[in-house]
């Protein structure tokens, strides 16, 4: 075989359906976390304070703002992976992540007076989507190289 060996970008229909279901569940959870009218309960903030204190004790100096920014990044990594499995273009996955995040923040701004919409959240969520799809691409690239190496070993 002379051509490059690649991992198929097109998912089998049953796998694609599974990814779509996982994406729907993920989006429902994101909507619940970001569009619920009331902010988190005081017990949630107590847990966050305990986490920050523990991180400080083990030598990881992180502020509440830093933890929130990191959480916003992590929340959109699955978006980048799941949408990246369905859409071939990396830039489109990142753009869709930006659009979803902007829609969430706009909804918070216009309809949820108890929530705080920020541009930083949009930036961090978009970064998370980008990291998710780039991680997916890295895994695909490694799988392609491994497959090519295995094919050369068996045919060469």
- Distant-in-sequence, close-in-space partners of 5: CB < 8 Å, separation ≥ 6: 144, 147, 148, 151
Query: Is 6 a residue whose pLDDT tops 60?
Result: no
* Chain mean pLDDT for the chain: 90
85-131 pLDDT, tens digit per residue, is 999 899 999 999 999 999 999 999 999 999 989 999 999 999 999 99
Neighbour tally for 134: CB within 10 Å: 17
DSSP state, residue 92: H
Read off the pLDDT of each residue in 121-144 and give the average, rounded to a whole number. 96
CA trace torsion 67, 73, 78, 83 (10° rounding): 160
Q: Is 15 exposed, middle or buried (0-12, 13-18, 19+ CB in 10 A)?
A: exposed
Neighbour tally for 113: CB within 10 Å: 9
Query: Is 133 a residue whose pLDDT tops 90?
Result: yes
Q: What percent of the chain has pLDDT over 90?
A: 68
Read off the pLDDT of each residue in 40-54 and give the average, rounded to a whole number. 86
Query: Is 5 a residue whose pLDDT tops 80?
Result: no
> CA–CA separation, 19 vs 73, rounded Å?
21
* pLDDT computed for residue 44 by the predictor: 81
Q: Where are the alpha helices (DSSP H) in 7-118?
A: 13-35, 42-57, 64-86, 90-111
């Amino acid at each position: 075989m002379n051509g490059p060996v690649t991992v198929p970008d097109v998912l089998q229909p049953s796998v694609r359906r599974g990814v779509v279901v996982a994406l729907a569940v993920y989006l429902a959870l994101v909507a619940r976390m970001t569009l619920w009218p009331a902010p988190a309960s005081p017990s949630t903030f107590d847990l966050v304070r305990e986490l920050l204190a523990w991180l400080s004790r083990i030598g990881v100096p992180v502020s509440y703002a830093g933890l929130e920014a990191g959480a916003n990044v992590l929340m959109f990594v699955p978006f980048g992976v799941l949408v990246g499995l369905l859409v071939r273009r990396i830039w489109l996955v990142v753009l869709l992540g930006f659009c979803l995040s902007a829609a969430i923040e706009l909804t918070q701004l216009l309809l949820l007076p108890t929530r705080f919409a920020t541009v930083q959240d949009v930036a961090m969520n978009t970064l998370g989507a980008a990291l998710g799809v780039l991680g997916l691409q890295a895994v695909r690239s490694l799988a392609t190289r491994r497959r090519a190496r295995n094919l050369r070993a068996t045919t060469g």
